[in-house]
Structure formats: C-alpha cells, structure tokens
C-alpha cells in the first residue's frame, strides 16, 4: 500500500471530513468540546489581565491589600474555570473519539466481508491487523485533543493580540517579530519531514515489523517443527532494529529545525523590551501599559506552539486515515441492497463463466447445471479450478464474465446478506474462533438453543468427543481452534454448517483431516442431514462420491465431462485414469506395513 496515495486519498475529502463522517451522532460532542476548549483557553488568558491590574495599581499607588486579594480571587476563579472547561472538553472529545474508533473498525470489518476474497487475500493478515487495531488505536490521543485544543489554541492568540493592539499597536506588532523566523524553521521542518525518506521509511518499517511479528506467531508450529526458530527470530530482530533505527533517523532529521523553531518563536521580549524602554523614555507609552504588554506577550505565542506541536500528529493521522480509506474505497462485490426478484428453488446454473485473478484467467467458459436437491461432486486434477468454481458459487468472488443464477435469479441481483443465508460453506481449513465449542457451532444459527446445537453435533458425530473435552461444550477452542485436532475442527465446522440449515451446502474436501472410522460416520451423517437440499462436494478421494447424482470433471479451468460414476468411467479417459489411480493407491495403503527394522536401517 503506497503511503503517498493513502495520504492523497484522505486529502481529497480532508482528514477532518472523514473524522466527522466516522463520528456519526457524536458530531455534536466535538462541536461542544471545541466551544468548551475555547472557553477554557479564554479563562486561562483572563488571569493575565488581573495580574496586569495588580501591577498597574501598584505603580499608580491605588492597590491596597484588599484590592490585590480580590484580584487574586478572580484569578483563582478563572483558573478553576479554565481547568473545569478543559476537563469537560476533553471528556466529550474522548467519548466522541472512542465512538469514531469503534465506527472505523466496524466499517473496516464490514468492508472486508463485502470485498472479493482475492482482494482481501492480497494483503497480509498482519497488515489488516496493524491497521484495524494498532494504527487506528494510535490516533486516539491525537483525535481526542486535536479538534478542541488546536482549534482553541489557534483562536486565543488572535484575541490576545487584538487586546494588545488596543494598548499600543507598535509594541503589539514588535512582539510578533520572532514569529515569522520561528515559523519559517517550523515550516522547513514539516517540509523536510514530508519530502524526506525518513518519515515514509518509518511508516513502512513499522508495518513490516508488525507483519513479521504476526507471521512469526502464526507460523510458530512450522518454525518449531523444522528447526527454523533462530532464522525466524533473527528476521524479527532485524525488523525490530530497523523499526527503531528509522525513528531515530526521523528524529535526527527534524530535531535541529524543531529546536530552533521552539526557541525563537516564544522569544517575544527580544524586540518588545528594547523598543518598549525607548518608547517609555520618549513618553509615548506609560509604565503600566508597558508592563501589561510584557505580561500579555508572555502568553501570546505559547497557545500557538501548543497547537503546532500537534502538526506531526496531524500528519500521522492523515496517513492513517489514508490507510483506512484505501480499504474502504476498494471495489466491493456487485450486489443490490434490496431483493427485486425472489429466487424460486435452489438450483444453480453457471453459464459461460470466465474468471481470472491477477490478469491470469483460471476458468474458461464454464457451463454447469446443479439441480435442486441433488448431490454433486467436483473432481479433477489439483489446480484444475474446482475450488474456484465452488467459491464463485458461494459468492466469494464475482465472475469476470458470464453469469451464475440461483433459483433462476442472477446472484449479482441478490443482496449479499440474503444469499449468504442460502449457502453453507465448509472448507478443509475451516476457522474456529477463540470461544467455546457451543458458541462456535451456534455461529451457524445465532438463534439456536443449546439443545439444537447439541443435536447438530450428535448428527455430525461430534458429541462424543466434545463430551470427552475438559469442559465439554464449554471448552474454549483456542485461537483458530488450536486446542483441537484437525479432524475435530472439521467436524465442528460441519456441525456449524448443518445448524445453519441452508438449502445449499458446499463441502470443500471437508473430511480431509478425518480418520477413516469417523469419516464414514460423518459421511452417513451428512447424507442424512442434506436430504432434500442441494449438495456440492469437492473431493479427492473418488470412492467417497461414487454414488453422487452428478460428478463434474474439471480440467484446466473447463468442464471436461459430467455424469454418474458409471457414465464417466465409460466416456472419460481422464476420469478412468483418476479412478484407477485412486483404487490402486487405496489398495496399496491398505496393504502397507511398516517394518521398524527396515526404517532404522534406512535411517
């Protein structure tokens, strides 16, 4: 993901425009927060006026103890109001900000569900996790302060300067003489940071570090199995060092200009004092006015400096919003919001379907009819396009050309949420969430009772092994189901699909990790549960689909033949070769015995 493109996307509408869109109903909280922040900064300025009154009274001889005490009480009151308004302002802005972060994450996760699967898989898991969790979270402090405080701190210096002009416009202008010089250094720092490679390098290296960490954690089993712990850890260490070095380089690039800016800008007395003394000697300014201007000038630039301190954070937030919008603006599956024509039945027809991924066509004019209530099997060599056909039917992607109809209606004309309820998809690598077995199965039908969940598990041959788990149905599956075996995860996934009670069920080698004894049990259970529904099975073990109503032979992205087992054995050389190879490999595996002595000798 190109950072310059991300920033330009955000700038097209403006970062704050996106923020207010994400804020939703909380826009009023931000507006109120800005008003309170202005009041807070204003109340922080008022004590300077009372302090000047005390000084003036002392010079004019009109300030006694009671007068000074009252002025101090007023100063204390406005200081209290300053802190009170500030607390209310930041409280409201933080509440609004947490709503913004929640809305951003909700929109991102909802967007991923509407995107074609290939586009989702283009980015690594670490990248999505980094954007949705860390990157979005990192703008919380900036966002909670930037809108109220920057707005207020930019306004108040103008108010102070206006008041100084009413006292003596000459000294008021002279107090700003250091502002252009300091501002120039600050602008140079921002320009250097924006144009330089260090900032972009920091963003890229941080993302790389996060991706490497996620890859290391997700691949820990493979790392341990193949003794690659040192290699993988070294890769992580290198990424971590690069991540820290790039921050140091970025800071080193900016530190001189930043320090010059922060040193020169607030030095308002450099010109005000000598010229003020000259004006006082010349009798064109009184001592009290001179002292009041000195006091006011001390509070003139600091609100502006506080506001400019957020500039780096604003640039960072612009980059992050750019990353967020780059996902939100990706193309979605073409689906309407409402159902114009209701599907009749659950038959599926593919007509002249072409599909390619990354400019390489995978399917070449596929024509296929899957009748309602039938058992259909997709078979063929590895990489022939079986899973692609199944995922197109499940609407994970949109076809490049041609059409897929469900119940006589093009699936592009069916709302995604409606269609997803009609399809139950079980792959060989189904994901289980880090929650209980009961809740993982219930995902198929959130309204299902515990009894219905248990019945689905019993029907799929899951109940016995679930009851043997430490906490039965309340056992936590672990991340990605890591606390369970591959076969156990698959059977729970099948139970989840069955509980969905969808009219179309797609099984993508769903018994691949199941042992022969349980495979037969699962197959009998599936046969019983899919009765009257449309079933599409992707199978490598041809003996498991020998009785299917229709076997679809896929080869090199084309449908080579369709028919029953007997028909394909009679008319297809490829299917006959596949069947013979399957039978011979099955017989070989059944007859193979392992001689420990031979194994030891070979080793």
pLDDT tens digits along 47-96: 877 887 787 787 777 778 888 888 899 999 998 998 898 888 888 888 88
Q: Among positive and negative, which fits the CA dihedral 239, 242, 243, 244?
A: positive
Structure confidence by residue, pLDDT tens digits, 356-393 = 877 788 888 889 999 988 888 898 888 888 888 888 88
Give me the mean pLDDT over the 181-201 stretch.
Answer: 70
The answer to whether position 188 is within a domain reads no
List, in sequence order, every residue forming a beta bridge with 406; answer none if it has no partner. Answer: 348, 409
> Strand order in 558-563's β-sheet?
423-426, 504-508, 534-538, 375-379, 550-555, 558-563
The answer to whether position 490 is within a domain reads no
Please list, in sequence order, all residues whose beta carbon lies within 8 angstroms of the beta carbon of residue 303, skipping any fewer than 6 positions away. 41, 152, 153, 154, 156, 157, 160
Q: Among positive and negative, which fits the CA dihedral 103, 104, 107, 109?
A: negative
Instruction: Tell me: do 291 and 355 sit in the same domain.
Output: no
The answer to whether position 94 is within a domain reads yes
The answer to whether position 307 is within a domain reads yes
pLDDT of residue 3: 43
Longest dimension (CA), the chain: 119
3-class secondary structure, 57: helix
Structure confidence by residue, pLDDT tens digits, 462-517 = 888 888 888 888 888 876 666 777 777 777 888 888 888 888 888 877 655 555 55
Instruction: Tell me: do 297 and 393 sit in the same domain.
Output: no
Instruction: Tell me: do 67 and 152 sit in the same domain.
Output: yes
Most confident of 77-86, 153-162, 203-212, 330-339: 77-86
Instruction: Tell me: do 40 and 98 sit in the same domain.
Output: yes
Please list, in sequence order, all residues whose beta carbon lies within 8 angstroms of the beta carbon of residue 258, skipping any fewer than 6 positions away. 185, 186, 189
Instruction: Tell me: do 369 and 310 sit in the same domain.
Output: no
The answer to whether position 589 is within a domain reads yes
- 507-526 burial string, b = 16+ CB within 10 Å, else e? bbbbbbbbeeebbebbbebb
Q: Which domain-ending residue is among 276, 297, 328?
A: 328
Structure confidence by residue, pLDDT tens digits, 125-152 = 667 777 887 778 777 777 777 767 777 7
**Token pair listed for 287:** 């001592």
How far apart CA 319 and CA 334 sit, in angstroms, is 29
Instruction: Tell me: do 303 and 366 sit in the same domain.
Output: no
Beta strands 348-357 and 360-370 are antiparallel
Contact 386, 405 (CB under 8 A): no
Task: Name residue, tokens 């890229």.
Answer: 204
Instruction: Tell me: do 54 and 146 sit in the same domain.
Output: yes
pLDDT score of 214 more than 80: no
The DSSP element (H or E) to which 107 belongs, if any, is: helix 65-114
The answer to whether position 204 is within a domain reads no
350: nearest Cα among 336, 334, 364, 362: 364
The DSSP element (H or E) to which 414 belongs, if any, is: none
pTM score, two decimals? 0.62
Give me the number of domains the chain comprises: 2
Contact 479, 456 (CB under 8 A): no
The answer to whether position 84 is within a domain reads yes
Instruction: Tell me: do 272 and 403 sit in the same domain.
Output: no
Q: What is the CATH number of the domain that holds 565?
A: 3.40.50.300
The mean pLDDT value of the chain amounts to 77
**Token pair listed for 1:** 């993901």
> Strand order in 401-406's β-sheet?
360-370, 348-357, 401-406, 409-410
How far apart CA 416 and CA 115 sit, in angstroms, is 11
Task: Name residue, tokens 């001390």.
Answer: 298
Structure confidence by residue, pLDDT tens digits, 114-124 = 887 777 776 76
User: DSSP code of 25?
Assistant: G
Instruction: Tell me: do 20 and 129 sit in the same domain.
Output: yes
The answer to whether position 516 is within a domain reads no
User: DSSP code of 476?
Assistant: B
Q: Among positive and negative, which fits the CA dihedral 379, 385, 387, 390?
A: negative
Structure confidence by residue, pLDDT tens digits, 322-339 = 778 878 888 877 778 777
Please list, in sequence order, all residues whose beta carbon lies within 8 angstroms of the beta carbon of residue 224, skipping any fewer than 6 positions away. none
Instruction: Tell me: do 276 and 373 sit in the same domain.
Output: no
Contact 314, 146 (CB under 8 A): yes
Instruction: Tell me: do 134 and 274 sit in the same domain.
Output: yes
Instruction: Tell me: do 280 and 401 sit in the same domain.
Output: no
* Domain assignment of residue 41, given as a range: 8-176+268-328
């Amino acid at each position: 993901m190109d950072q310059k493109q991300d920033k330009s996307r955000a700038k097209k509408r403006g970062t704050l425009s996106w923020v207010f869109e994400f804020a939703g109903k909380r826009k009023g909280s931000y507006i109120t927060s800005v008003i309170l922040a202005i009041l807070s900064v204003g109340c922080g300025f008022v004590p300077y006026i009372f302090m000047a009154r005390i000084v003036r009274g002392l010079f004019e001889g009109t300030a006694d103890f009671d007068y000074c005490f009252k002025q101090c009480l007023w100063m204390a009151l406005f200081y209290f109001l300053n802190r009170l308004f500030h607390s209310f302002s930041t409280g409201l802005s933080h509440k609004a900000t947490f709503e913004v972060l929640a809305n951003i994450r909700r929109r991102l996760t909802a967007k991923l569900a509407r995107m074609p699967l290939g586009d989702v898989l283009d980015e690594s898991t670490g990248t999505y996790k980094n954007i949705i969790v860390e990157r979005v979270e990192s703008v919380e402090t900036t966002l909670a302060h930037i809108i109220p405080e920057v707005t207020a701190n930019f306004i108040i210096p103008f108010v102070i300067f206006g008041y100084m002009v009413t006292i003596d416009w000459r000294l008021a202008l002279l107090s700003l003489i250091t502002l252009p010089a300091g501002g120039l250094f600050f602008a140079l720092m921002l320009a250097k940071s924006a144009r330089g490679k260090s900032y972009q390098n920091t963003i890229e290296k941080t993302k790389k570090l996060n991706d490497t960490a996620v890859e290391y954690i997700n691949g820990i089993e493979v790392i341990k199995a193949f003794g690659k712990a040192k290699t993988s850890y070294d890769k992580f260490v290198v990424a971590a060092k690069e991540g820290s070095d790039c921050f140091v380089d970025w800071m080193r690039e900016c530190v001189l200009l930043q320090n010059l800016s922060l040193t020169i800008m607030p030095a308002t007395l450099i010109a005000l004092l000598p010229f003020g003394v000259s004006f006082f000697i010349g009798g064109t300014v009184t001592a009290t006015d001179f002292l009041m201007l000195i006091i006011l000038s001390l509070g003139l630039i600091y609100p502006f400096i506080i506001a400019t301190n957020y500039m780096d954070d604003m640039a960072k937030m612009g980059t992050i919003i750019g990353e967020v919008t780059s996902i939100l603006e990706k193309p979605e599956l073409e689906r309407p919001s409402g159902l114009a024509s209701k599907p009749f039945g659950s038959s599926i027809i593919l007509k002249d379907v072409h599909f390619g991924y990354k400019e390489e066509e995978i399917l070449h004019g596929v024509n296929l009819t899957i009748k309602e209530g039938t058992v259909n099997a997709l078979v063929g060599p590895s990489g022939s396009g079986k899973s692609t056909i199944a995922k197109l039917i499940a609407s994970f992607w949109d076809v490049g050309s041609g059409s897929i109809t469900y119940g006589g209606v093009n699936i592009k004309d069916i709302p995604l949420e409606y269609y997803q309820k009609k399809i139950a998809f079980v792959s060989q690598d189904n994901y289980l969430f880090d929650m209980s077995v009961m809740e993982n199965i219930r995902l198929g039908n959130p309204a299902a009772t515990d009894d219905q969940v248990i019945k689905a598990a019993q029907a799929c041959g899951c109940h016995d092994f679930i009851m043997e788990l430490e906490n039965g149905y309340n056992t936590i599956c672990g991340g990605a189901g890591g606390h369970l075996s591959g076969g156990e995860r698959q059977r729970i996934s099948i139970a989840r699909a069955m509980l969905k009670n969808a009219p179309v069920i797609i099984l993508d080698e769903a018994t691949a990790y199941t042992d022969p004894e349980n495979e037969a049990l699962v197959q009998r259970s599936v046969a019983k549960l899919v009765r009257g529904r449309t079933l599409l099975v992707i199978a490598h073990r041809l003996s498991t689909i020998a009785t299917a109503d229709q076997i679809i032979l896929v080869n090199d992205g084309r449908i080579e033949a369709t028919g029953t087992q007997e028909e394909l054995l009679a008319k297809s050389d490829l299917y006959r070769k596949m069947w013979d190879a399957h039978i011979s490999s099955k017989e070989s595996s059944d007859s193979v015995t392992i001689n420990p002595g031979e194994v030891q000798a070979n080793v």
